[in-house]
Structure 1
Amino acid sequence: MKDFKGKTAVITGAGNGFGAEFAKECAAREMKLVLADIDLADLQKTKELVAGMGAEVVAVVTDVSIYEEVEKLAKTAVDTFGSVDLLFNNAGVVVPGPIWEIPAKDFDWIMSVNVNGIFYGLRAFIPIMLKQDTPCHIVNTASVAGLLSTPGMVAYHTSKHASVSLSETTYLSLQAQNSKIKMSVFCPGFVQTDLHHSDRHRPERFAITPEEPYFQSASYKAGLERARHVIETGIPIDSIGMSVFTAIEDEKFYILTHPQYHPIIGKRVKTILEGENPSINF
């Protein structure tokens, strides 16, 4: 996809971080925008920003972990602008801690957003794109955590490995029927986003229970601090939008941001092929 002017982009998790950056890049390319986020205040800020850039834009408060809300988002996009040409399945959250300590509710939350949220987006929007039979593109936000494994972030790694596989298999399925839909999976390393503040985006059914011991534990507090540190010391976010759009134009499937992780990804593949056991020693 190389022609963006006048086309329609849908972005989930548009209230901040990558979603807001993607929205700005879309507006700069004179695209029409359908923005979605679970947080109304954040969503409104991005809407006002891109409207100030001259973009036609609608905003829809959306919990991507609920399929009916994603269906509503898709209907709004088509009803408002008539088509969907570019989809960013971008909403995501993080939960720290070892698997034997985190509450089951937290695991359900991260999987429902990071995996189900992408599945729901694909399920709701691909039929629209197939019916259009025009050049379209889908970008699923995963993480370099979906291409390698480290201790301490079990739920996050699990969700991101799943989102990478979901992206790959969907892409292959679209190829098998000669679809005009192209795809990318965005696998960034540490970038200065708002991801470490995920807890403020919890819907009521996944709310933190104060009496739950885990949320008072050293593991939880250490996980939050580590997340804060690596994100706040990550690379600046202002170059991300341009690099992702370059990948879209080049029809590049894997979009990575940190070359220093390439040897670690390669070592994981080598470990598998040589029948070795995983090790914390990179």
Structure 2
Amino acid sequence: MKEFKDKVAVVTGGANGIGHALAQEAIKRGMKVVIGDIDRNGLERIEKEFKEMDADFMVSYIDVTEYSDMEKLAKNTLDRYGRVDILFNNAGVVVPGPIWDLPLNEINYIMYSNLFSIVYGLKVFIPIMERQDTDCHIVNTASVAGLLSSPGMPTYHMTKFGNVGLSEAVNFQLQERGSKIKISVFCPGFIQTDLHHCDERRPEKFKIDWNDPYYQSDEYKEGLKRAHYVITTGMPIDSIGMSVFQAIEDEQFYILTHPQYLPVIEWRTKNILEGKNPDISFFK
């Protein structure tokens, strides 16, 4: 896709962070934009900001962990604009901590937010795009954590590996049927977003039970500190929207942002091919 003016972009998790940057870039390129998010205050900020930009946009309060809400987002988009050209399947959360200590509620929270939401977006929007029979593009926001492993956040790696694998397989399926839909998987490293504040936007069904001993543990508190540090010291977000749109123009499948992680991805791949075991000393 080379031309964007007057086309329609849908962005989940569009009120904050990467989603916000993607929505801004879409508007700069003359697109009509639909922002879906669970953050009501964020949506209000977006409305004010984008009205000042004289943008053609709409916001939709949705919970991406609910399939019916993804259907609602699609319906709202079609009712308003009659088409969808780009889907930024972007919403996501982070949950640190050892898998054996995490409450099951936390595991469900990240699975539904980071993986099921991607599934829901593909399931709802691909048929719409297929019926249009026009050039379309889907960008699934994963993470470099979907291309390498580390000891830090196993549930995060789990969902992001799932996102990458799903994106690859669906991309093959679309190629096989000669579809006009192209897919990219966005695998950034740490970027200066507010991902570490995602708990402020939790759906009620995943509400934290502060009586659970895990939330009084040093592991939980240290995990919050680590998340805060790596995100606030990450890459500035300014160029992210432009980079992703360039990848769409180039029909680039893997979109990476941090070259310093390439040796880690290579190390993991070589271990697999050479039959070597993962070794924690690599990270030390």
Matches within 5 A, 1:239-254: 239-254=239-254
Question: Which residues of 2 match residues 198-213 of structure 1 at below 5 A?
Answer: 198-213=198-213
Q: Does 1:273 align with 2:259?
A: no
Report the Cα distance in structure 2 between the residues aligned to 1:234 and 1:207, rounded to whole angstroms.
28
Q: Does 1:125 align with 2:130?
A: no
Q: Residue 231 of structure 1 corresponds to which residue in structure 2? A: 231
Deviations 1:35-83 (A, max 9, x none): 1001111122123222322211111111000000000100111111010
**What is the deviation of 1:152?**
2.6
Give the aligned partner of residue 24 of structure 2: 24
Q: Name the CA distance, whole Å, in 2 between partners of 1:23 and 1:65.
A: 21
Which residue number in structure 1 is paired with residue 134 of structure 2? 134
AA partner of residue 146 (structure 1)? G
Q: Which residue in 1 is equivalent to 2:222?
A: 222
The CA deviation string for residues 150-191 of structure 1, in whole angstroms up to 9 with x for no partner, is 113011010000011111111111000000001110000011
Does the 8 Å contact 1:23/1:46 carry over to 2?
Answer: no
Q: C-alpha distance in 1, partners of 2:212/2:91?
A: 26
**1:182-212 per-position Cα deviation (integer Å, ceiling 9, x unaligned):** 1110000011001111111111110110100
Structure 1 distance, partners of 2:164, 2:269, is 15
Number of positions where the alignment pairs a residue of Structure 1 with one of Structure 2: 282
State how far apart, in whole Å, the 2-side matches of 1:237 and 1:224 are.
21
Amino acid at match of 1:280: I
Dislocated runs of 4+, deviation >2 Å:
none
Taking only aligned residues, the RMSD between alpha carbons, in angstroms, comes to 0.7
Aligned partners of 1:141 and 1:185 also within 8 Å: yes
CA distance in 2, matches of 1:112, 1:277: 31
Unaligned segments of structure 1, at least 5 residues: none
In the alignment, residue 142 of structure 1 is paired with which amino acid? A
Unaligned runs of 5+ in 2: none
Displacement of 1:136 in angstroms is 0.4
Query: CA offsets, 1:207-246, max 9 Å, x none?
Result: 1101001011111100000000000100100110101110
Give the aligned residue type for 1:192.
Q
> TM-score w.r.t. structure 1 length?
0.99
Q: Counterpart in 2 of 1:12?
A: 12
CA distance in 2, matches of 1:258, 1:281: 22
Report matched runs for 1:9-158 at 5 Å.
9-158=9-158
- Classify the secondary structure of the residue corresponding to 1:123: helix
User: 1-side partners of 2:2 and 2:213: how far apart?
Assistant: 51
* Counterpart amino acid of residue 263 in structure 2: P
Post-superposition shift, 1:279? 1.5
Q: CA deviation at 1:281?
A: 2.6
C-alpha offsets along residues 125-156 of structure 1, whole Å, 9 cap, x if unaligned?
00000000000000000000000001130110
Percent identity, aligned pairs only? 59
Output the CA distance in 1 between the equivalents of 2:12 and 2:239.
19
Residue 281 of structure 2 aligns to a residue in which SS? coil
What is the rounded CA distance, in whole Å, between the counterparts of 1:123 and 1:44 in structure 2?
A: 28
1:15, CA displacement in angstroms? Answer: 0.9
Task: Please give the TM-score of this superposition, normalised by the length of structure 2.
Answer: 0.98
Equivalent residue of 1:140, what SS? strand
> SS of 1:260's equivalent?
helix
| 1:261 aligned onto 2:261 | yes
Distance in 1 separating the partners of 2:207 and 2:33: 30
C-alpha distance in 2, partners of 1:50/1:19? 14
Is the CA contact 1:35–1:47 (under 8 Å) kept in the aligned structure 2? no
Whole-Å Cα distance in 1 between the matches of residues 49 and 185 of structure 2? Answer: 26
